[in-house]
Structure 1
Amino acid sequence: MAQPRREQEPLREIERELMLISRHSLAAQPVGFSRVLDRSAYHLLSRMQVQGPMSIGQLAEAFGLDTSTVNRQTSAMLRAHLVERIADPEGGIARKLRITALGAEQLAADRAGALDALGRVLADWQPRELAELRETLERFNTSVERHEGRPWPRARD
């Protein structure tokens, strides 16, 4: 049953802001900085960095993608020496992909650039406001993950 228009208005505003976040996050880069990794490599490497070596099937399940899509993406990463195939450390049959030193270096460079850009955008925010934003974004993301049945592991420094 559809919600009355008045009750939908906050959802419309949230949808618009989320659309703008995706637009801004792709454009927010420090002057003179260009990303080394494409978007899919950045996401896949980020997941492996937190979770450790993963098979193509595990990556496909984690992202809700078809294995052929993940296979194409990881093949490009293998050719670029960002990941390497290894035997399953847990003794399974499927080979897993592990981040190489080059992959970790390029991921760190892109993350540093993203953090620099984010720091410039949020430079005039108070620590309390930053904490509130982090908490709200994490709550939103964990709600999405719960709804999709695909939680993202979070590493706390």
Structure 2
Amino acid sequence: MDKPTHLIEFETMLLARHSLLHAPRARAAGGNLDRSAYVLLTRIRMDGPMSISQLSDAFGLDASTLNRQTAAMLRSGVVERIPDPDGGIARKFRITEEGARLLDADRSFNIGGLERVLADWTPEEVAEFAAVLERFNRDIERLDGRPWPRP
């Protein structure tokens, strides 16, 4: 029998696979953001305008990767570059009204999908799963040194 950590590895691999397979269908069904834009916009919404350097620190990604991702987001109109509201030199990315609208639409679509998957779960099971998943993510963040803000 596999150790529990082997089972967790396998199940998280499947979870990532299901999410990846869901993305093209989500876009075809009305979702408009790719995965990187969805995650970046979520972080910018929670933290406010962010520079490439701040995004690099938050995500652990190099500036060239973030420059490509934010350039695509600028072209699609979901973010705009603004002067640093705190007076710093670096320009920052701020979510646009269109970006907020698309993020809300995609989040609603994703939540609807989760509600369909969890339809046969009790409210207690859903709450327990949410709590364990949050603990799992917080422990990853603690080890990585990059905690994520939470609503």
Q: For residue 102 of structure 1, what is the aligned residue in structure 2?
A: 98
Aligned mates of 1:53, 1:109 — CA distance in 2: 21
Matches within 5 A, 1:80-119: 80-119=76-115
In structure 2, C-alpha distance between the alignment counterparts of 1:26 and 1:92, rounded to whole Å: 37
* 2:6 corresponds to 1:12: yes
Deviations 1:30-89 (A, max 9, x none): 7x6242011110010011111111001111111110010001000010111110011111
In 2, the alpha carbon distance for the partners of 1:152 and 1:100 equals: 22
- CA–CA separation in structure 2 for the residues paired with 1:77 and 1:112: 20
Rounded to whole Å, the distance in 1 between the matches of 2:30 and 2:63 is: 29
Gapped runs of 5+ residues in structure 2? none
- TM-score, structure 2 as length reference: 0.93
Match of 2:29 in 1: 33
- Indicate the SS of the match to 1:97: strand
Which of 54, 60, 83 is equivalent to 2:56? 60
- Structure-2 residue corresponding to 1:3: none
Partner-residue secondary structure (3-state), 2:49? coil
Other structure's SS at 2:3 match? helix
Structure 1 residue runs without a partner (length 5+) = 1-5
- 2:13 is aligned with what amino acid? M
How much does 1:17 deviate? Answer: 0.6
Question: Greater RCO between the two (CA within 8 Å, min separation 6)?
Answer: 1
Mapped partners of 1:73, 1:97: distance in 2: 12
Paired with 2:87 and 2:124, the residues of 1 have a C-alpha distance of: 46
Q: Distance in 1 between matches of 2:144 and 2:33?
A: 26
What RMSD in Å do the two structures reach over aligned CA positions? 1.5
Q: Which amino acid aligns with 1:44?
A: L
SS in 2 for 1:107: helix
Structure with greater proportional helix content: 2
Partner of 1:133: 129
Q: How many residues align?
A: 148
- What amino acid is the match of 1:83? V
Q: Give structure 1 regions of 4+ aligned residues with deviation exceeding 4 angstroms.
A: none
Cross-structure match for 1:146: 142
> Distance between the aligned counterparts of 2:90 and 2:9, measured in 1?
39
